[in-house]
Structure 1
Amino acid sequence: MLSASGRKIESCDSYQTQPADLPTFLRVLGPNPYKVAYVQPSRRPADGRYGENPNRLFKHMQLQVILKPPPENVQELYLESLTAIGIDLRQHDIKFEEDNWESPTLGAWGIGWQVMLDGLEITQFTYFQQCGGVDLDPICAELTYGLERLCAFLQDVDSIYDIVWARDPVTGREVKYGDVRLADEQQFSVYNFEAADVQSAWKHFELCEGECKALIERYGALTKDKNEGDGIAREKSRFPLLAAYDLCLKCSHYFNILDARGAISVTERVGVIARVRALAVGIAKAWMDQQYGSENKSEKSEKATESAAKGKKGKLAPVG
Structure 2
Amino acid sequence: MTFQEIILYLQKYWIKMGCIIIQPVDIQVGAATSHPMTCLNAISDQSIAIAYTQPSRRPTDGRYSKSKNRLQHYYQFQVVIKPAPFDIQEIYLRSLDMLGIDLKNNDIRFVEDNWENETLGASGVGWEIWLNGMEITQFTYFQKVCGIPCDKIVVELTYGLERISMHIQNVENVFDLVWANSKFGKVKYGDIFYRNEIEQSEYNFQHSDINFLLESFKNHQKQSISLLDQDKGLPIPSYEHLLKSIHYFNILDARNVFSVNERQMYISKIYNLIKKIAKIYLNSKK
Would you say same fold, with TM above 0.5? Answer: yes
Q: Are residues 1:34 and 2:48 paired?
A: yes
Given candidates 121, 136, 145, the residue that maps to 1:107 is 121
Counterpart residue identity of residue 184, structure 1: N
- Cα deviation, residue 272, structure 1: 0.6
- Cα deviation, residue 7, structure 1: 3.2
Q: Report the equivalent of 2:18.
A: 13
Q: Report the equivalent of 2:9.
A: 4
Given candidates 240, 261, 281, the residue that maps to 1:267 is 261
* Structure 1: runs of 5 or more not aligned: 223-235, 293-320
- Cα deviation, residue 213, structure 1: 1.0
Is the 8 Å Cα contact of residues 115 and 126 (structure 2) preserved in structure 1?
Answer: yes
Post-superposition Cα deviations, 1:84-118, rounded to whole Å, max 9, x if no partner, equal 11101111110111111111111111111111111
Alignment partners' CA distance in 2, 1:168 and 1:213: 46
For the aligned residue pairs, the C-alpha RMSD in angstroms reads: 1.3
Q: What is the 5 A alignment of 1:179-194? A: 179-194=191-206
Q: Are residues 1:258 and 2:252 paired?
A: yes
Q: Report the equivalent of 2:177.
A: 163
Which stretch has the larger CA shift, 20-29 or 42-51? 20-29
Post-superposition Cα deviations, 1:167-191, rounded to whole Å, max 9, x if no partner, equal 233x5x2221101001111111111
Given candidates 198, 204, 213, the residue that maps to 1:201 is 213
Q: Report the equivalent of 1:295.
A: none
Given candidates 94, 97, 100, the residue that maps to 1:80 is 94
- Cα deviation, residue 28, structure 1: 1.1
Q: Report the equivalent of 1:287.
A: 281
With structure 2 as the length reference, what TM-score do the two structures score? Answer: 0.91
Given candidates 212, 225, 244, the residue that maps to 2:224 is 212
Which stretch has the larger CA shift, 62-71 or 7-16? 7-16
Is the 8 Å Cα contact of residues 8 and 77 (structure 1) preserved in structure 2?
Answer: no
Number of equivalent positions = 272
* Structure 2: runs of 5 or more not aligned: 1-5, 26-34
- Cα deviation, residue 17, structure 1: 1.5
Given candidates 100, 104, 122, the residue that maps to 1:90 is 104
Find the residue that maps to 2:128 and give its secondary structure: strand
Counterpart residue identity of residue 201, structure 1: L
Alignment partners' CA distance in 1, 2:128 and 2:225: 35
Find the residue that maps to 2:90 and give its secondary structure: helix
Alignment partners' CA distance in 2, 1:18 and 1:199: 33
Counterpart residue identity of residue 128, structure 1: F
Is the 8 Å Cα contact of residues 67 and 142 (structure 1) preserved in structure 2?
Answer: yes
Q: Report the equivalent of 2:143.
A: 129
Alignment partners' CA distance in 1, 2:44 and 2:36: 16
Find the residue that maps to 2:43 and give its secondary structure: coil
- Cα deviation, residue 204, structure 1: 0.2
- Cα deviation, residue 162, structure 1: 0.2
Alignment partners' CA distance in 2, 1:110 and 1:242: 23
Is the 8 Å Cα contact of residues 108 and 131 (structure 2) preserved in structure 1?
Answer: yes
Find the residue that maps to 1:39 and give its secondary structure: strand
Alignment partners' CA distance in 1, 2:38 and 2:75: 16
Alignment partners' CA distance in 2, 1:258 and 1:2: 32
Alignment partners' CA distance in 1, 2:204 and 2:43: 33
Q: Work out the percentage of aligned pairs sharing the same amino acid.
A: 42
Q: Report the equivalent of 1:243.
A: 237
Find the residue that maps to 1:75 and give its secondary structure: helix
Counterpart residue identity of residue 12, structure 2: R
Alignment partners' CA distance in 2, 1:22 and 1:184: 27
Q: How has the CA–CA distance of structure 1 residues 167 and 8 changed in structure 2, closer, same or farther, with 3 Å as cutoff?
A: closer
Larger Rg: 1
Is the 8 Å Cα contact of residues 124 and 142 (structure 2) preserved in structure 1?
Answer: yes
Counterpart residue identity of residue 186, structure 2: E
Is the 8 Å Cα contact of residues 93 and 117 (structure 1) preserved in structure 2?
Answer: yes
